Amino acid sequence: MLATIIIFICAGVAGLVLPWWWGFAPIVAVIGFWKGKSSSHAFLSGFVSVFALWLLASAWLDSSQILGQRLATMFGVPHAAVMYAITALVGGILAGFSALAGFYGSQCIAKKSN
């Protein structure tokens, strides 16, 4: 739970500061390295936090649904909300694998030191 909140806040700040859409990934990997308790915990913490962040951000930034509806039409999906969910899913998967990579990095270092 704490890792999810930390990732949510840090990924939100990274989205405002960094110029790349994937700029949160190294930050999430560091948090997965630091706070990951298991592989599933690390993945779910990263996935849930960035999925929620991107879903809220896309819905809030496109409150009139103009861009979301145009993208939905272009990709052939029925509603702008589906585009928001797809966007959040992409961010969540990237964050989940980033946190998982950080967790596995911590496991490699822990095994080498033993």
Q: In whole angstroms, how far apart are CA 70 and each of 9, 77, 86, 89?
A: 30, 10, 14, 19
Q: What is the pTM of this model?
A: 0.89
- Identity (one letter) of the amino acid at 58? S
Per-residue pLDDT of the chain (114 residues; tens, 9 = 90+): 899 999 999 999 998 998 888 889 999 999 999 999 999 999 999 999 999 999 999 989 887 888 888 988 999 999 989 999 999 999 999 999 999 999 999 999 887 776
Helices of type H across 2-79: 2-17, 24-35, 39-61, 66-75
Domain boundaries, the chain: 2-113
